Structure formats: structure tokens, C-alpha cells
Structure 1
């Protein structure tokens, strides 16, 4: 048998053989002639037009050959931080400090009672709305900035750090020692009318006016989120002036649209100067180095004056959060930062769009494709694809995905993902990280197969039905 015949000779011999047979054989012969002719057209089309992997090549590196340095850290095994670490443990007895307002009643002294007149009853004070304090008795007297309490006829008493019972005993002894009250008459009443408070600023970028906490449509492309911040000035009572109470007063823990951390910026002048000096020194060094055209500057390092409190950590890791870290003072700022830059982009045969990455779990390339509306093993919907758009008839799905990942100094690496291998090999299924661009393409053989199948169903079946 001669195997070196040209396709035209094979067609001629097949036609001659089928012309000697009956009608159905003749029909099959014509159909076969159409298929062989389609093969010739396929070869011509390939040589003239080429496939997208040839006309739009991407030089990728297989995912299982990439260094781990190019992949993000997994998040699936992170566990939430115990939120009790963000709250202060109040003392058993309230300890006084500047700006506390006490209710003090001293019979015969406060208020002054003329001789031979019945003593006046102490006034009763009801707490403000939302206060947890019980009703109090006595005349309001504030603890001074120096921690002293000024009372009639005696020197100011140092009460900072004392409990109410200790202050009551100290007042009683002071009036006895000064021969103002007899021991049996010295029965002062000391209560607390209002606790001292701390003014803290909370800035949150994890909510908007639309009521959607995330501000994003997690099942489709992003819809133009609003990064306007909410929050404001919060007054926190003493021993509740911590990060957890500041969050509770402004809506709770950070939402899904916020980063898994809390920033605390101190209001002291020393911390402000430290932050300003840090940025000034960093940018001065950057400007000096930019004179070298080959210079690749490092990313902006963490500001040491900003306290960052993580909300999720590795199992078994206990974050080093001291009581001083979570204690807030007047003017301190609690900042919840938006994570709107944690997105990835799609293109090629994937519907183009911008999608937000999940905050608390990993997303691999197969999940990212599903999020973009392209399930694994399905033909590229609405993309046409293939030579002449025949893939809609052929139905062979695209099998090559490229991840365009940014590297330092405006560089880029293309990671090649063979979708057929990625189904069975997790190492060929890399995680998506912020800034990635996912490009879905046909392999050259897939486009050719789609074109051949499409041509067969278009011309071969037509020839069969014609006869």
C-alpha cells in the first residue's frame, strides 16, 4: 500500500470506489470528500491565519517551576485573634483620677448648716443616658488635674488612684484632725456622679451609606465602591478606653471590606514628630537614589510609630499585645483601612472585569475563573474564540491560563497554568494575589480542533443531508 499519496489523490480514489457502489455509499463518499476537503482548508487556514497562541503569544513559566517567593502566603489556616486581648481588664474597685466628678455630702460642712437647724438632706443625682452608673448622692466636686479634691475648710486632698472607700476615710480623718468635726459626727458620703472620659477618633473605611458593608458585589465585577470613611469622635469612660470598646461604639469589628488589622496612631507630639521624621528621611533617601537610572528602590517600610494589631494569626501564635498597646488616650486615632486594592483582573477569553479577593480564605485560579463566570471545562462563553468563531460549534474548552503577576521595580512574571493538569495537581493551581491579571487562551491544538469540528458539522453534515 502506497502511503505517500497526496490528499487530492486519496479523494479521487475514494470517489472512484464509492461511485461503483449504491446510493447510500455514494452519499457517504461525498460526506467523506467534504471532511477531507475540510482538512485541507484547516491546513491552509492554519498556515495563513494561525492561532491566538501564535498571534498573541505569552511567554509563561509553568506554575510548578516557579519559586515559592512569587506566591502569596495561604490564608485558609489563619484563626481569629481572641478579641478579649483588645479589651482592658477593669479593676475590682474604681480608682479615681483627674476629671472624675464625685458626689460629696458632709453633714454640717457641705452644705453649711447653721446651729440649731435641722441638717439638709443630700441631693440625689441620676446618671446620664446610656451610663452604667447607679444614682448618686452629694454635691458635685471634680477631681483636679493634679489629682486633688478641694473641700471646704481643709487643704486639698490627694485622691488620685484611691477608691471611693479610701477617699471617704481620708475626708473623715482630715476633718477630725482639723477639729472641725467630732468623731461621732464625721460621717461623709462619697459617691461618683460621672466617670472621666477619653476623646478618641475612630476612622473606618469598611462601610458606606448604601448599607452594603463590603461595598462590593462579590459575585461579579466591582461596581465602583465608595471609600468615604465613617466614624467620628467617641467618648470612652475610664477602664473602657481600649480598642475593643472604640470599635463596638462605631459598628463592631472590621467588615469584609476592611483589612484584617487595626491601626492605632498616637496623638502625642512625640509620636507625630516620629512619623514626620520617618517619612522625611525615607523620601530624602529615595530622591538621592533616583539619580541612578538602574536604581530599584525598596517598598515603603512599616512606620514604627504606628501600632498595627492583627485580627487573624497562624494557629498556635499568640500576638504580643500589651495593655499599653490597646489603651487609648485623648486624641488617639483608631484607623480601619479599606482593602479596595486587593483585587485581580481578567481578560482574554474570560469576561473582562475587576474582582475583589476574599479576605479570610484563599482563592486559586480555578475559583477565580468561576468568580469571573467561566467554569473549568466549559467553552468560553460569548468570546467567540477559535479560528472563525468555530469554537462555539466545536465545543472544546480553552485549556491555558496565564497569570500576569507584578514584581518589584515595575517588573512582571507570567505564570503558565495548564488547566487540564491543574484539576489533578494542586501544585499547578496557584493562589491568586492582589494585582494579578488572569488571561485565558486556547492552546493552538484546541483552536485547530474546534475549527475542524466546526467545519465538519457545517459542511460535512450539510453534504450528507443534501444526498
Structure 2
């Protein structure tokens, strides 16, 4: 009878404890999400995949040089006309270009003026705009013959291109070329918070002087550090100058402008697979006074909370991130076994393999395009098996980890109850023992 009474007493205490827990213990009063199940989420609320995008072909960012080269204002010609510009016994000057890949040239440097003409002795000006170098030489020879300055049979002339016209542009980058991913930052590992995107961006600026026929987006990027790094947006913004000069005005709505204006050109660096080029060669051509800007990424982050560490974490720029991976990034555990329930002992090890389950209820709070808010419920156990449950993380998402009711009960037993059972059931066939527990 004593053994039977002891067992009944123990069972009675357990029953009373369960009733007490259901009556309002803190472990069961934590908030539980009541949102839309992730696998039932409509398509318009799903995050878009960034991995589906492909890099813009590099040859799309380069202009095709004109063939043949046509002269215009800003070009410098090397001209020699025996008896008018240079003598037979005079050594011709040799010119080595400082810009571009042109070969060395000979002749006296003569620039093409704003009117598209060159000024020469005895014939005043000769129009050469729009001509090739060979055509310009023919025009200069004809000018001296038609004005009876030199005879055709004795005329000796030479025209070369000393320096092609150039475009002076500015390149401003806020991507810190060559920077590594944020998770390598020591402050992320030690203090539990990744640095914000704005703190990691580092502005650099350069002034370039490019041959006008070779001034394009690809050249500007190649000469200033290459393609934008992971801290930059996937686009290049070109602020156009007016006739080589900025008008110096800033529109009142410049912060709200999300599309290109006539003076702003946006070139995407990642595009939909199989899509046609949505910009022209004239869009990627740079002119004097243009400013090429590589903008930083400022808002591509997600937030964690609840049973996860409270953090602001940058999203990968060119790779998809799903909720399970997002949890692991901040140190969350998935199916790691948890901790042992209570302190069961029986002369060595009694129930030592009983373990506590991890929280599996993840609430995703997401903003909609119309600036509303939707709550999404993710079952992490199902997310490990079903890709539809393992949602893509959208910029601005808040991930809050919680417990299900059954997990709360399990944790309650593990953290609140303290059992000490010394039983001889298996050794002697008796059920004598003692138990102690503490209630909330």
C-alpha cells in the first residue's frame, strides 16, 4: 500500500502542476503568430528572386568606335605643307600622344576650331569637320592650289592626327571597390550586430580624360576599380551635363525621382534572362561634363528578434536568402537537439537522452507595395522539407522566432521543474522513490 500511495501522490502532483500551467504560467502566454501560412502565401506577396537575374553583357556597356574616324572640334592635326607650313630642310616634329592608343604622328600641331576648320598660312581657314584624315589632306592641298599659292605638280603636304578630341568626366563611387562581405566584420561576430550599409560605404572620386570616341561606361568602370562591389547597387547612374557644363540646379523632387529624367541616365548591371537591351549605345556614351555615379546599397537589410538575437543584417546583393539561412546567419539553431529536460538520475543515467526541441514558429512581418503590413507564419520544421515554406527574405523583413504551445510546455518542464527521482523499479521491482519540484 505504501508503494501504491507514493505513486498516486506523485501522479497527483503532476496533475496539479499541469492545471497550474494551463491557468497562466508565463511559458504559455508568449505571443503566438496567427498569420498567413507561408506555403499558402499569394504570389504578389512573395519576394522576387535576385538569382534569376543575369549580369549585363560587358560589350553592351561599350560603344563601337567609328570607322573611319571623323574629324571634329577638339581634334589636333599634324600638318606639313612644304613652302607654306614648313621647309624642305626643316626637320618635321614628331608628336607622341598622351591620351588614347593612337600611334606617334608628324607635322606641326594645328587644332580644329569651334567652326570645324583649321587656320593655315596664306589660305586662312579650311573646313575639315566630318572628314577623314585623308579627306582633310586632300582639302588642304586643294586650298593651296585653288588659291594659286602652290602648284599642284610641286605640292608636298602631309596631314596626320596628333590628338583625338577628349571628354573630361568625373566618376564618383560609393562601393569601396574590393570590399569583403559584411559577416567578416569583427563587430558582427563579437557584438551581435552587423554594421549598416551606410557605414560600410566608402566614397571615392576620380577625374578621367578619355578619347571621345572611346568614352563609355565600361571604360569609366575599368579605369576606376572595375565593376561595382557588393556594397553598391546594381546600376550606374549618369548625370548629364548641358553642352559639357552642368546647369547647377537641383530639382525640388530629386529625392523622390525613381526613374531617369532627360538629364539622368540609369544603366542596369543585372537584367532578366533573355531580355533585350533596354538602353541604347547613345545612353552609355559619355560626354564632357558627365558625372558617372555608383550609388550605395542603403536599405537591403532584414531584422531579427524574439528568440533570435536582435540584429540588422545586410542581404546578399546577387544571391537569394531564405528564412532558414537567415536564422543561421544570426546564430539561430535549427534542429540542434536543444538541452536535456530536468535532472533525471538513476544511479548513472536515467532518461539522459531526453532532449528539448528548438522553437519552430517563425513570424515574418513584411511590408507590401502599398505600404501595408502582412504577417506570415513559417513552420521551420516544415521549411526544412518544403521549399514553399522556406520563404525568400525580402528587404525590410522582420523575422521573429517564437515557440509553439507544445514547445513552450517542453521548455517549461526543462527550465522550471526540478526532479530528483531515485528509483529501484528495475533493480528490485519496487516503486519507492522521492520527487521534488518547484512551481511558478
Scaled by the length of structure 1, the TM-score of the pair is 0.78
Question: Does the CA contact (< 8 Å) of 2:179 and 2:230 recur in 1?
Answer: no
Distance change in 2, residues 1:77/1:85 (3 Å): same
Tell me the equivalent position of 1:359. Answer: 317
Residue equivalent to 2:144:
175
Contact 2:360 2:403 in 1 (8 A): yes
Offset, 1:186 = 1.8
Structure 2 alignment gaps of length 5 or more: 343-353, 426-432, 435-440
SS at match of 1:156: strand
Give the SS at the match of 2:305: strand
In 2, are the aligned partners of 1:197 and 1:237 still within 8 Å (CA)?
Answer: yes
1:10 maps to: none
Measured in 2, the distance between the counterparts of 1:141 and 1:451 equals 91
Structure 2 distance, partners of 1:420, 1:164, is 74
User: Deviations 1:266-293 (Å, cap 9, x if unpaired)?
Assistant: 122899889966828xx9xxxxxxxxxx
CA shift in 2, pair 1:215/1:108, >3 Å: farther
Task: Write the mapping of 1:56-455 to structure 2, written as runs, cut at 5 A.
Answer: 56-111=31-86, 113=87, 119-128=89-98, 131-207=100-176, 212=179, 217=184, 221-224=193-196, 225-268=199-242, 279=253, 301-305=258-262, 306-378=264-336, 394-407=355-368, 411-453=372-414
Alignment partner, residue 351 of structure 2: none
More helix by share: 1
- 2:181 & 2:410 partners in 1: Cα distance? 44
User: How far does the alpha carbon of each residue in 1:243-286 deviate from its partner, in whole angstroms, 9 at most, with x for none?
Assistant: 11111111111111111111222122899889966828xx9xxx
Q: Post-superposition shift, 1:440?
A: 0.6
C-alpha distance in 2, partners of 1:462/1:185? Answer: 124
1:204–1:337 contact (8 Å) kept in structure 2:
yes
Shift of 1:436: 0.8
Alpha-carbon spacing, 1:423–1:355, altered in 2? closer, same or farther (3 Å): same
Measure the CA separation in 2 of the matches of 1:270 and 1:70.
45
How many positions carry a matched residue from both structures? 409
Q: Is the 8 A contact 1:142 1:149 kept in 2?
A: yes
Whole-Å separation in 1 of the counterparts to 2:25 and 2:57? 61
Q: 1:271–1:379: structure 2 CA closer, same or farther, 3 Å change rule?
A: farther
**Cα 1:409–1:42 shift into 2, 3 Å:** same
Equivalent position SS for 2:136? helix
Cα pair 2:338 2:355 within 8 Å, conserved:
no
Moved more, 271-280 or 86-95: 271-280
Q: What TM-score do you get using the length of structure 2 for normalisation?
A: 0.82
Q: CA deviation at 1:81?
A: 1.4
Give how far 1:141 is off: 0.8
